[in-house]
Amino acid sequence: MTDRTGITHPPLSPLVWTIAAFLIAAAPHLAAMPAALAGIVILLSMWRITSGWFQWSPIPGWLRILITLALIVLVVMAYGGLWGRRFATGLLCVMLAAKSMEMYQARDLRMVASVCFFLIATQFLFNESLPYLVYLAGGCWAATIALIQIQQIPAMQRAHSGAGMQIQRRSLNQAATLLALALPVALALFVLFPRLAQPLWGLPDEMLDGRTGLSDSMSPGAISELFLDDSPAFRAEFDDQPPPYHQRYWRGPVLWRFDGSTWRTTQFANARGRQSVPITESSLHYRIQLEPHERRWLLGLDYPARSSMPESTITVDHQLLSRHPVTTLSQYEVISTPDFVPDAELTQSERLLATYLPPESNPRTRALAGEMRARHPEDRDLIEAILQMFHDEFSYSLSTAPLGRHGADEFLFDLKDGYCEYYASAFAVLMRAVGIPTRVVTGYQGGFWSEAGGYLLVRQSDAHAWNEVWLEGTGWVRVDPTAAVSPLRISQGSRSVIERERALFEFDWMFELRNRYDRVQHLWNQWVLGFDAERQRWMLERLGLPRLGATGIGLLMIATVILIAIPIALWLLREQHRTARSEAEKAWLRLLRHLRRRRFRKRAAETPLEFALRIEPELGSTGAGLVQLALNYNRVHYGPEDPELTRKFIANATAWRSTGTRAKSGNPMT
């Protein structure tokens, strides 16, 4: 076991399990990592197993340090200075793989196995959807098996057997038992652990490396994978019916600044709004279950009036904004007033910003706008005319084409084919060219109504961009040029448009299956992921408990954990005495128990007969027959098999016990 460097190789089995636990826990992280890094991690792990198999001598210390430093440099390079959580977890994975180079003692193995739990927990910062429950269970199981086997290393070395099937099966069972016993405790803690209503500390924005979702800028022509992403963005629960299609505009970032190719938000985008939205009879009440997107915006229907999210604001652009980036599934209620028109007077700077176009860009578009303006002096007529033009001459598709310096020109005169971003951008350029203040609103449009679930599912592919135009005397009016081109996109959602392109592998039953699955996911989100301080309070109130503070809930938690631990402890601590192997032995043990209650205890060294002979005088008249019983027990238990004799012995022993006085063994066995 010991080579010349004095390093003892641990038995193979705990080593393999530790590395397996690490790879399982790291699997989702590896999938999200640059492929080269993931390859290195897997390679290092495999190397360690191979070197354990062949008992290679370990890598010398200086080389280990060199490799580790090289790996750190590699990770920094691979993530290009993005100090986000992906970088942190990536680094952790690589470091653990590097640690495996010097993993020879139980201490090192233990460290890697226990950090697996941490790796598993960090994965949930990125994705908490239902399938990851399997990952949680599997990862914890593997790590527990590894820990159990590490504990058994001395025993394995004593027995000189690394990986007997029996040891494997036993540790698998032990780990499952441990986890099964830990689960009730974990669940009680989960339900009753006092939650924070607010985070303790905010996460610096640079720690967030963004997921798919809306962004705060828009460049038509840049490749956008958002429209192909079917993952849910959020779900909106309505009590009765969802709002009609033409009201399903979920407001996201509002873009004002245009530099000729990219639309961006303003510096004052996060400022609190001046105008509050009234709540009227037509206002919609609903509840949003927002998937984490690591941005601050919360989505709501046009125009949000109020939200239950703590510390959230409604900005000047009528956008709902949370105070901290949404890093976990969040649930909040919103009240929106769809027929509200924002009509707070424009300031001079706002007007300038909303009509600005980079000079000398898009000359043909400007010319076209001027020409149309001459024909339609009324703003509304002009808008109508442009939409009519879109409807007649343009088509909708998700194909992208990169746009050059005069993006609007290229799109309006050459391409005539595109998706919402192209239309919203071109329309805004047209409007601004004639001095009508216009802005681009991004967000989501539509949603799939799940009748059974009572919620509207909005996917990332429902992302949309539309315009708002300032009409003097009215205010900001929503204009959706995409709707003019492809009314289907608005009335039936993005799927109706995409379907044509992906019909090859999109069947209806698959679609149905996905929607069914989404309902389960929705419940999971609602009851597990969305279990927060508010739901906890609600649940405790339903249980009839008075309103408890954090201290109260904490005490309740401790009491419950103790209550749960008691039966577990009793079960674990039960006496496991030798079990009887035959019916006769059972009868004899019952007899001994009976005598024990009468304060006659058989000594360990006594044979049945010796015991009977010793206590018979003490029992006096009640002890008659005991010696005969002991003799018969000897015959039955040690002698050749005799069913008839056995049956009689059992009957007599039972009778002796039940009467306790008269023995029925006058001549029992003849």
Which residues here bind another protein, judged by CB under 8 A? 106-107, 110-111, 114-115, 117-118, 120-122, 124-125, 128, 132-133, 136, 140, 144, 147-148, 150-152, 154-155, 158, 174, 178-179, 181-187, 189-190, 193, 195-196, 199-201, 203, 327-330, 528-532, 561, 565, 568-569, 572-573, 575-579
Instruction: Collapse the DSSP code of 527 into the 3-class scheme (helix H, G, I; strand E, B; otherwise coil) and give the result.
Output: helix
| Shortest distance in whole angstroms from residue 453 CB to another protein | 20
Which among 510, 444, 449 is positioned nearest to 480, based on CA atoms? 444
The two tokens of residue 5 are 């460097």
Question: With respect to another protein, which residue has the nearer C-beta, 543 or 573?
Answer: 573
| Shortest distance in whole angstroms from residue 154 CB to another protein | 5
Which amino acid belongs to residue 557? Answer: M
Q: What angle do CA 267, 269, 273 make, to 5 degrees?
A: 130
Which amino acid belongs to residue 328? Answer: T
Which amino acid belongs to residue 214? Answer: L
Q: Give the Cα separation of 660 and 597 in Å (integer).
A: 12
Which among 295, 300, 294 is positioned nearest to 234, based on CA atoms? 300
Question: With respect to another protein, which residue has the nearer C-beta, 565 or 589?
Answer: 565
Is the Cβ–Cβ distance between 426 and 365 less than 8 Å? yes
Is the Cβ–Cβ distance between 526 and 450 less than 8 Å? no
| Shortest distance in whole angstroms from residue 147 CB to another protein | 4
| Shortest distance in whole angstroms from residue 620 CB to another protein | 31
Pairing status of strand 300-301 against strand 330-336: unpaired
Question: With respect to another protein, which residue has the nearer C-beta, 307 or 425?
Answer: 307
Residue showing tokens 């002890």: 623
Is the Cβ–Cβ distance between 265 and 217 less than 8 Å? yes
| Shortest distance in whole angstroms from residue 617 CB to another protein | 28
| Shortest distance in whole angstroms from residue 157 CB to another protein | 9
Question: With respect to another protein, which residue has the nearer C-beta, 125 or 172?
Answer: 125
Q: What angle do CA 247, 251, 252 make, to 5 degrees?
A: 160
Instruction: Collapse the DSSP code of 255 into the 3-class scheme (helix H, G, I; strand E, B; otherwise coil) and give the result.
Output: strand
Q: What phi and psi, each to the nearest 5 degrees, are found at residue 622?
A: -75, -15
| Shortest distance in whole angstroms from residue 170 CB to another protein | 9
Is the Cβ–Cβ distance between 580 and 586 less than 8 Å? yes
Is the Cβ–Cβ distance between 363 and 322 less than 8 Å? no
| Shortest distance in whole angstroms from residue 189 CB to another protein | 4
Question: With respect to another protein, which residue has the nearer C-beta, 66 or 569?
Answer: 569
| Shortest distance in whole angstroms from residue 179 CB to another protein | 7
Q: What angle do CA 596, 597, 598 make, to 5 degrees?
A: 85
Question: With respect to another protein, which residue has the nearer C-beta, 124 or 356?
Answer: 124
Question: With respect to another protein, which residue has the nearer C-beta, 196 or 543?
Answer: 196
The two tokens of residue 188 are 């009680």
Is the Cβ–Cβ distance between 309 and 320 less than 8 Å? yes
| Shortest distance in whole angstroms from residue 387 CB to another protein | 44
| Shortest distance in whole angstroms from residue 511 CB to another protein | 28
Q: Give the Cα separation of 302 and 238 in Å (integer).
A: 15
Question: With respect to another protein, which residue has the nearer C-beta, 325 or 608?
Answer: 325
Cα–Cα distances in angstroms (integers) from residue 227 to residues 140, 208, 224, 422, 499, in the given order = 36, 22, 7, 14, 12
Question: With respect to another protein, which residue has the nearer C-beta, 475 or 552?
Answer: 552
Beta bridge partners of 475: 471
Cα–Cα distances in angstroms (integers) from residue 112 to residues 191, 246, 298, in the given order = 29, 55, 39
Question: With respect to another protein, which residue has the nearer C-beta, 547 or 578?
Answer: 578
Which amino acid belongs to residue 404? Answer: G
| Shortest distance in whole angstroms from residue 93 CB to another protein | 16
Q: 646: part of which helix (H) or strand (E)?
A: helix 643-659
Is the Cβ–Cβ distance between 7 and 41 less than 8 Å? no
Which among 330, 308, 312 is positioned nearest to 321, based on CA atoms? 312
| Shortest distance in whole angstroms from residue 288 CB to another protein | 16
Is the Cβ–Cβ distance between 645 and 633 less than 8 Å? no
Question: With respect to another protein, which residue has the nearer C-beta, 376 or 535?
Answer: 535
Cα–Cα distances in angstroms (integers) from residue 439 to residues 21, 253, 278, in the given order = 52, 11, 23
Question: With respect to another protein, which residue has the nearer C-beta, 155 or 352?
Answer: 155
Sign for the CA dihedral angle at 549, 554, 555, 557 comes to positive
| Shortest distance in whole angstroms from residue 418 CB to another protein | 38
Question: With respect to another protein, which residue has the nearer C-beta, 24 or 386?
Answer: 24
| Shortest distance in whole angstroms from residue 186 CB to another protein | 4
Is the Cβ–Cβ distance between 19 and 48 less than 8 Å? yes
Question: With respect to another protein, which residue has the nearer C-beta, 47 or 531?
Answer: 531
Peptide bond into 79 cis (omega under 30): no
Question: With respect to another protein, which residue has the nearer C-beta, 186 or 613?
Answer: 186
CB-count exposure of residue 311 (10 Å: 0-12, 13-18, 19+): exposed
| Shortest distance in whole angstroms from residue 246 CB to another protein | 35
Question: With respect to another protein, which residue has the nearer C-beta, 510 or 569?
Answer: 569
